[in-house]
């Protein structure tokens, strides 16, 4: 085990604050792409399903693992495609002459 007891709790806490901080500065116009983007990020569950299927032994475990990999791949790929499509459309009426940095 790499992550032992309280260390896991610390990671949990710090990650939660990180997530909270990142979102708190997002303008309303990006809420949908952002929800979609965060939806993509939890597509990392794909890695977990790969490991779970990787050490599945019985047919039942393999069947569940296989479905889980399909679902997770759908989450990751679909999340990426729709987010990227949405963000591609955002542009400003002011051309490139101004380096917009309104973070």
Q: How far is the CB of 10 from other proteins (least distance, A)?
A: 11
SS (H, E, C) the chain: CCCCHHHHHHHHHHHHHHHHHHHHCCCHHHHHHHHHHHHHHHHHHHHHHHHHHHCCCCHHHHHHHHHHHHHHHHHHHHHHHHHHHHHHCCCCCCCCCCCCCCC
Q: How far is the CB of 17 from other proteins (least distance, A)?
A: 7
Q: How far is the CB of 97 from other proteins (least distance, A)?
A: 14
Q: Which is nearer to other proteins, 97 or 100 (CB)?
A: 100
């Amino acid at each position: 085990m790499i992550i032992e007891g309280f260390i896991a709790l610390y990671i949990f806490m710090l990650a939660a604050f990180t997530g909270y901080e990142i979102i708190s500065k997002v303008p309303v116009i990006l809420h949908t792409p952002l929800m979609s983007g965060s939806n993509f990020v939890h597509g990392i569950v794909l890695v977990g399903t790969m490991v779970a299927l990787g050490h599945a032994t019985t047919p039942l475990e393999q069947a569940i693992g296989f479905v889980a990999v399909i679902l997770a791949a759908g989450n990751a790929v679909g999340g990426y495609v729709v987010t990227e499509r949405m963000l591609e459309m955002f542009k400003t009426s002011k051309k490139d002459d101004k380096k917009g940095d309104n973070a």
